[in-house]
Every structure is written in structure tokens, then in C-alpha cells.
């Protein structure tokens, strides 16, 4: 079943290739949406796709790239909107 997921990741997540590696992981998992750095130092992710693959993205986000440090991960499940054609990095 397709769903939408909103994730906020905090810790040392900016300047450590978190966005780029999230994009790569989302592509592997056949997810659409976006990832961006927020002014408060967190990373925000909106992803859509199969629930199983979104759960795999959550698991990946808890680790992130090697040089990241994840202090907190907030997730909110939402209704699938079929809003995106691909997964992108937003600036």
C-alpha cells in the first residue's frame, strides 16, 4: 500500500552528505519526494511510495551516512498524494 512519510532528522546531519545519500537510498527504494536542510540544522524529508520501502527508509535514516550522528528522528505517516515524479534534493 502506498503512503506518504514526513521525516525530521536532527543531530550532525548537515555538511555530512546526508541529503545526497538520502536521495540515493530513496532511488534504490523506488521512492519519490524530496530532502532538504532546514535553517534550524535539521534535515527534512517527504517521501512517497510503498509502505515497506518507506519503513526501510526510516531504518536507513536512523543510521545515515558514516560521518553523520543521528540524535532524533521524527516520523509522521500521511495519506499518499502521488505528488512527485522522482526524488530530489531541495535547497
Model confidence over 16-66: pLDDT tens digits? 999 999 999 999 999 999 999 999 999 999 999 999 999 999 999 999 999
As a whole-number percent, the residues of the chain with pLDDT over 70 amount to: 100
Q: What is the pLDDT of residue 67?
A: 95
Predicted TM-score (pTM) above 0.85: yes
What gap in Å lies between CA 2 and CA 50, rounded to an integer? 4
Residue 26, in any domain of the structure: yes
The domain that contains 46 carries what CATH number? 3.30.70.100
Tell me, yes or no, if 37 is annotated catalytic: yes
- Domain membership flag for residue 47: yes
Q: Which listed residue (4, 19, 55, 69) is catalytic? A: 19
Per the residue annotation, which of 4, 24, 30, 37 is the catalytic one? Answer: 37
Q: Is residue 66 part of a domain?
A: yes
Question: Looking at the domain assignment, is residue 86 inside a domain?
Answer: no
How many folded domains does the chain comprise?
1
**What secondary structure letter does DSSP report for 18?**
H
* 50 occurs within a structural domain: yes
Please say if 30 is a catalytic residue: no
Instruction: Tell me, yes or no, whether 55 lies in a domain.
Output: yes
Classify residue 90: in a domain, yes or no. Answer: no
Q: Residue holding cell 546531519?
A: 13
Q: Collapsing DSSP states into helix, strand and coil, what is residue 90?
A: strand
Answer whether residue 91 is part of any domain.
no
Amino acid at each position: 500500500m502506498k503512503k506518504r512519510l514526513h521525516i525530521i532528522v536532527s543531530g550532525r546531519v548537515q555538511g555530512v552528505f546526508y541529503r545526497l545519500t538520502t536521495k540515493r537510498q530513496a532511488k534504490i527504494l523506488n521512492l519519490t519526494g524530496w530532502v532538504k536542510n532546514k535553517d534550524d540544522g535539521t534535515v527534512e524529508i517527504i517521501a512517497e511510495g510503498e509502505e515497506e520501502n518507506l519503513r526501510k527508509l526510516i531504518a536507513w535514516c536512523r543510521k545515515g551516512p558514516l560521518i553523520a550522528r543521528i540524535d532524533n528522528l521524527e516520523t509522521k505517516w500521511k495519506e499518499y498524494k502521488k505528488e512527485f515524479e522522482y526524488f530530489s534534493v531541495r535547497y
